[in-house]
Amino acid sequence: MKIFVDADGCPVVDIAIEVAKEYGIKIVVVKNYAVWLDDPYAEIVSVDISRDSVDYYIANRIAKGDILITQDYGLAAMALTRGAYCINQNGLIINDKNIDNMLNRRHFNAELRRKKKIYTKFKKRNTQDDEIFERNFRKLIESINCNLNK
């Protein structure tokens, strides 16, 4: 098992690295070269700044049983087809049961933005958001480990 992090705009990279280190799981943080990240435990991969470079890198390397941290539902859908587990920065587990709804909502919101020029403002992230992510991330890792030990 490996953990992949779509680090472009990801607010939980440091938490993910600390949890991975604690569980002894390899973590690959993929970012474009304009983002500065450094950590002695994580494998940091820099890709081109062009659109979807991070997504393509991850989609071509993620495997069954790996974990992906991303807020990109398109990338999550690709990872799910390869048998990976997915979680977003808010701690929501993305799976075969909810991905279609998420992709449909993403498409609908993109249409609204194009037609009506409506843009939503996201609320500022707080420590409770980080705690929820960490708790659910740990639960995901433990449930995968539990299934591997059966």
Cβ proximity of 85 and 1 under 8 Å: no
pLDDT digits (tens, 9 = 90+) for 139-149: 999 999 877 76
**How high is the pLDDT of residue 150?**
60
Task: Indicate the pTM of the whole model.
Answer: 0.85
2-148 architecture in CATH? 3-Layer(aba) Sandwich (3.40)
Nearest CA among 127, 128, 129, 109 for reference residue 119: 109
pLDDT digits (tens, 9 = 90+) for 6-64: 998 899 999 999 999 999 999 999 999 888 899 999 999 999 988 889 999 999 999 99
**How high is the pLDDT of residue 127?**
92
Domain edges within the chain: 2-148
Average pLDDT, the chain: 88
Q: What is the 3-state secondary structure (H, E, C) of the chain?
A: CEEEEECCCCCCHHHHHHHHHHHCCEEEEEEECCCCCCCCCCEEEEECCCCCHHHHHHHCCCCCCCEEECCCHHHHHHHHHCCCEEECCCCCEECCCCHHHHHHHHHHHHHHHHHHCCCCCCCCCCHHHHHHHHHHHHHHHHHHHHHHCC
